Homo-oligomer: A and B are copies of this chain.
Amino acid sequence: MIRILWIAVTTLFLGSTWLSAQRMDTMAMHPIQPIAPATVTNQPMVDLGAKLFFDPRLSKSGFISCNSCHNLSMGGSDNLATSIGDRWQQGPINAPTVLNSSMSVAQFWDGRARDLKEQAGGPIANPGEMAFTHDLAITMLASIPQYVEEFERVFDTRVVDIDGVTKAIAAFEETLVTPNARFDRWLKGDRSAITATELEGYQLFKSSGCAMCHNGPAAGGRTFRKMGIVEPYRTDNPAEGRFAVTGRDADRFSFKVPSLRNVELTYPYFHDGAADTLAESVDVMGRIQLGKRYSPQENAKIVAFLKTLTGDQPSFQLPQLPPSSDATPRPNPFD
């Protein structure tokens, strides 16, 4: 009897060890993990944030909203090399996608904002982007009765402030995740979710070192890396990356590693938007970061793999914005 019990216990122990080793192994094997769907804990705040994200009255001109450059019809980006700001000013850098941006270590290419909330205030007051001020944005919102009511519902106060505005925008942005990519379905065990070619691309992606930087659920966004490790990157763009934040020489030309999620939708690529296609990006990355020259076949396989990272795009009703009141200051696009 004791012997039978001993065998049973040993079997259970060994079995569970084997199982968790398997699980560990699966996790360790894959540098990219599936994206979990968004869990919304405060729907009214998310709804308010969606309105603010789509509201061009947060800009001086009344024409540019968050969605202008982080267009949720187009992978959360504007698909331009550099963005268009107030009075058609040319932006200094490629607009990063807002999709899955909550998974980033920090915001902006140089990581100058700690989180989405801090980021959200930036473009509103940037003279080259929305060209407004936080004070003017708050005056505008506070003049709109429906916004004041929503603020009261969400923040329990009728005092509209920039803290609440950026908090709500960030809450909306946290919902902008893209689960259920074919690659995620494959990671979860659906062997038919990706093709043999795409799988070969993934193996190459891992074996040649791409995954050293592009890892985690977002396949990037977790670290800053120098653009041009093996060979210098040639560009006319004057951005110096992380150096602008830290002032350390070692951080010169170091940029946040972009997420590869939905990369099929977020062209053109790199901080200067200089690469129009995935093929070009893979070629450049191979050469300047890894010292590798991919054959056209290898390049095509990696590109095929990258396209399996396109997930379910955020799906929601186009927000309806509360109308201005007679007291709302009118936008000022032309002077």
Binding site for B on A (CB under 8 A): 54-57, 61-63, 68, 71-75, 78-81, 84, 87-88, 90, 264-265, 267-268, 276-279, 313, 315-321, 323-324, 326, 330-331, 333-334
Chain B residues with CB below 8 A from A316, complex form: 317-318
Given A72-B318, A317-B316, check contact A323 B80 (CB 8 Å). no
Chain B residues with CB below 8 A from A279, complex form: 326
Q: Which 3 pairs, one residue from A and one from B, show the smallest C-beta to C-beta distance?
A: A88-B88, A277-B326, A73-B321
Q: Is the CB of B315 within 8 A of A317?
A: yes
Across the interface, name the chain B residue whose C-beta is closest to A323: B265
Instruction: Select which of B81, B84, B317, B324 is within 8 A of A317 by beta carbon.
Output: B317
Q: Is the CB of A334 within 8 A of B264?
A: no
Q: Is the interface of A mostly helix, strand, loop or mixed?
A: loop
Across the interface, name the chain B residue whose C-beta is closest to A310: B323
Chain B residues with CB below 8 A from A56, complex form: 71, 74, 78
Smallest beta-carbon distance A121→chain B, Å: 22
Instruction: Select which of B61, B90, B313, B334 is within 8 A of A320 by beta carbon.
Output: B313
Q: Is the CB of A321 within 8 A of B74?
A: yes
Task: Give 6 pairs: A residue, B residue, CB < 8 Å, sorted on A.
Answer: A75-B323, A80-B331, A90-B333, A265-B323, A315-B317, A316-B317
Q: Is the CB of A330 within 8 A of B276?
A: yes
Across the interface, name the chain B residue whose C-beta is closest to A320: B313
Chain B residues with CB below 8 A from A81, complex form: 330
Q: Is the CB of A90 within 8 A of B334?
A: yes
Chain B residues with CB below 8 A from A61, complex form: 80, 84
Smallest beta-carbon distance A172→chain B, Å: 13
